[in-house]
Chains A and B, each alone.
Chain A
């Protein structure tokens, strides 16, 4: 049976690498099944399960929170995101980083504000986490 090299990586680590006879991935336009010899393709992925069928009939499962799938003639690469990403969520964290800089500039008394800023940041992070969880549930 023909097989194809499959690499699944995220920014923080290499998740899996090996040979597979078929790869299933949640593309933005629908579920994709990639067999060896697939024409070159590049697509965004939705959060979901990636399955790799191996030669020994075993199946590998991975949950990815979105990313990019690239098919080259001899290799399939999945560049997985490390977190659920969305326009509005990215926006929120960008605003947070901006605000933090502004706040830090405004206030001279670093030590006092530092503790407060830290507490605020912690709560903001918690909020972000829960948004993520919600999104995951909704998927």
Chain B
């Protein structure tokens, strides 16, 4: 019966693990819904912002913002958006792989790479990686706030303005659906011209704004807010991805635990039956001997 007892404790411990993963799955599911909503509510701002910036680009103001100007690339910046917590499948690992792949291309061309990390996982990962980490933001929680991101973004925007980096990319997960999250690398600065294309109909009106106080001031603020809104959008989307990935990972963990318990139960039953049979035959043979 010794084997049976061991199996029984094992079943029990797997059972409690299963309970935990099940709970985590349900928590992630409800958090995912909220994260998705947050992702959606952030959209109108980015959308409006884009329209205004596009309009500015076409209204031909006398001042052209540096974010709109391509220049030779000597060094590049990356903003890596990751999660604070693990247990979400391959979400972060896939993202880092994609980031490193993109970085190594620049590296082979002799271009310096600066990294700004968002989230604990990226912070831990890029500490070990050779790239230079210039800023770090962690502990954003489930509801990321714009306020907390401003610092990390500003470091990179300042670096661009001072010429320390010539291009800025953002690496984050794209929320395709609950089952699929796609790691993606996108260029933030210089703002790509095709992003600023407008609908044909609107192009006909060629009017410029009155700027208050001055075109330069307004456009500067507008551009930095635009970049910030894009980053916020990515962070919000990444948080939805995190919850979705965790939900799926925990679901499969729960399923696996269930399977394992079933198998062990079978082994346990067999061991128990074997023990009973053995005892019976011992009793019977003992009785016949008497």
Which A residues are within 8 Å of any B CB, using their own CB? 7, 9-14, 27-29, 39-44, 68, 70-73, 77, 79, 81-83, 85, 90-98, 100-101, 104-105, 110, 118, 121, 125, 128
Contact = CB atoms under 8 A, between A and B. Distances in A.
Contact of A94 (B158, B212, B228, B232): B158
Contacts of B155: 94, 97-98
Interface string B195-238: 00000000001011111110001100110010011001000000
Contacts of A9: 44-45, 48
Given A40-B209, A97-B151, A105-B133, A118 B48 contact: no
Contact of B221 (A44, A77, A92, A121): A44
B271 interface: no
A93 B136 CA distance: 11
Contact of A12 (B42, B207, B225): B42
Nearest to B49: A79
Given A11-B45, A44-B217, A97 B152 contact: yes
B182 interface: no
Given A90-B150, A97-B152, A42 B52 contact: yes
Contacts, number: 135
A81 B49 CA distance: 12
Contact of A82 (B46, B147, B208, B222): B147
B53 to A, nearest CB: 10
A138 B134 CA distance: 34
A104 B41 contact: no
B44 A14 contact: yes
A94 B49 CA distance: 23
A5 to B, nearest CB: 12
Given A9-B44, A97-B151, A70 B117 contact: no
A14 B147 CA distance: 17
A70 B52 CA distance: 8
A39 B211 CA distance: 11
Contacts of B212: 27-29, 41-44
B144 to A, nearest CB: 9
23 contacts: A9-B44, A41-B211, A42-B52, A42-B210, A42-B222, A44-B212, A44-B213, A68-B218, A79-B45, A79-B225, A93-B147, A93-B151, A93-B154, A94-B155, A97-B116, A97-B137, A97-B151, A98-B134, A100-B137, A101-B116, A104-B133, A105-B133, A125-B148
